Amino acid sequence: MLKIEESVLNAIIDHAREDTPVEACGYLAAGDGIVRRHYRLANLDRAGDHFSMDPREQFETIRQMREDGLGPVAVYHSHPETPARPSVEDIRLAHDPGMSYVIISLAARQPVVKSFRIVETKVTPEEIFIVRSADEEVKK
Amino acid sequence: MEITVNGVAQSIAAAEPDLLSVLKSNKIEDPQMVAVQLNGQFVESSQYAATILSEGDVVEFLYFMGGGSR
């Protein structure tokens, strides 16, 4: 299960919309088991059907997370024109078994956000629980 | 020997630990899938086994990230 503050969820949807037609990507960082913040990263590929992160920027981002008192728990990216499910490429390149993989689809009128665990090419959907920032009430 | 790996202090029993063994002990099954910095400098994967660590070294590693909607 991925618990995420509502404001962060909205922010990654905004990021996906802003970067369209290019795929947006970034990290999600958690504190106390809840995603508190997103970190935008550049898509080196600048493509609508692919993304790659710059390792140098990844290192800088992870260090910033630590300074913020948070830790990485998920990678997110957008699918501007396809559904929110891992592509063959997503699965092939999902090397980190400790991460959740969040996909934001803009293919339909309303954005769709889904999260997956991907371990050795096995894909397992996971629930997303939205947490209101103010009172930390959890809703599905 | 005390080193720091991804921000966490670790004690290493070996007198002259190499970078590859440290990655393996941190559950990196395939070292080709990670980028590594030693004291802030990138290390080429071909040099992991030949890179000997020293007291106080700071090792950072992370997985390459990419994907696509194809």
pLDDT 10s per residue in chain A (140 long)?
999 999 999 999 999 999 999 999 999 999 999 999 999 999 999 999 999 999 999 999 999 999 999 999 999 999 999 999 999 999 999 999 999 999 999 999 999 999 999 999 999 999 999 998 655 555 54
**Measured between CB atoms, which of B37, B62, B69 is closest to A49?**
B69
Range of the domain at A49: 2-135
Q: How many CB pairs under 8 A join A and B?
A: 76
> What's the predicted TM-score (pTM) here?
0.92
**Measured between CB atoms, which of A59, A87, A99 is closest to B68?**
A87
Between chains, do A55 and B66 touch, taking CB under 8 Å as contact?
no
Q: Which residues of B touch A90 (CB under 8 A)?
A: 67-69
Structural domains in chain A (count): 1
Q: Is residue A140 part of a domain?
A: no
The fold adopted by the segment(s) B2-63 is Ubiquitin-like (UB roll) (3.10.20)
Q: Is residue A54 part of a domain?
A: yes
Q: Which residues of B touch A87 (CB under 8 A)?
A: 67-70
Q: In Å, how far is A90's CA from the nearest CA of chain B?
A: 4
Long-range contacts of A35-43 (CB under 8 A, 24+ apart): A35/A2, A35/A3, A35/A4, A35/A5, A35/A8, A35/A73, A35/A74, A36/A5, A36/A8, A36/A70, A37/A8, A37/A65, A37/A68, A37/A70, A38/A8, A38/A11, A38/A12, A38/A76, A39/A64, A39/A65, A40/A15, A43/A19, A43/A77
ipTM of the complex: 0.92
